[in-house]
Amino acid sequence: YTSSNFRMKLLFFEKNFLLKNISNPFFIDKLNLFTHQNFTVCKANKKDANHLLMLINYLQEQRERNVLFLEDIIRSIIFTLLLESASIIAVQYSKENKNYSREINTLFCKFTQLVQENVIAHKDVQFYADQLFITNKYLIHLVKKATKKTPHVIIDEYLLKEAYVLLGYSEKTIVQIALDLGFNSSSSFGRFFKKYTSISPQQYRKQQHI
């Protein structure tokens, strides 16, 4: 049943859109907004709901502008919306995850730190399991428990972030970037990049310079 005065505003965005200009690719995961699925129901009171609605309306207004750095402005507003939403559901999330293991949380944080430090040289899950002195199977379990993703996906996401940075802010060739990221060839790097973005590294670089 839906009342006659029911209103809804939806905001859709690709995660890759947000990843392009943030230093920490795990930022979105840490908010715990999309742990279980691709959307989150935020149970806000009237004051908080009005504040979120104001931000959404502001975002809509900005889309109509013809100014420099419009994409960055829109991205920053979406970040604000995510942070505001995360703060509202923080208490709700903690209640729903009372049995969340401190051990799992600690190990996952160590895992993400290791990925940030070693992803160029080590892309295999076994390396990180060995560094944490746990089995490959247990690492998969704890990462899935924390993010609903596999360790391999987490590794690829951080590698993708590195690729975004090099393609957008580097004068290096695609071949040089591929080697810097630990790929054997530009073609293998291209397949990896296209798998997650649906475009080639060359196409992405062209888009950044339009």
Total residues found in the chain within this entry:
210
- What is the pTM (predicted TM-score) of this model? 0.60
Regions of the chain with pLDDT less than 70:
1-2, 15-41, 90-102, 209-210
CA atoms within 13 A on the CB side of 210: 8
DSSP assigned state of 6: -
DSSP assigned state of 156: H
Q: Over the stretch 5-28, which tens digit does the pLDDT of each residue have?
A: 777 777 777 766 666 656 565 566
Q: Which domains does the chain have, with CATH numbers?
A: 15-96 (no CATH), 102-208 (1.10.10.60)
The pLDDT, as a whole number, for residue 188 is 96
d(CA 154, CA 21) in angstroms, rounded, equals 18
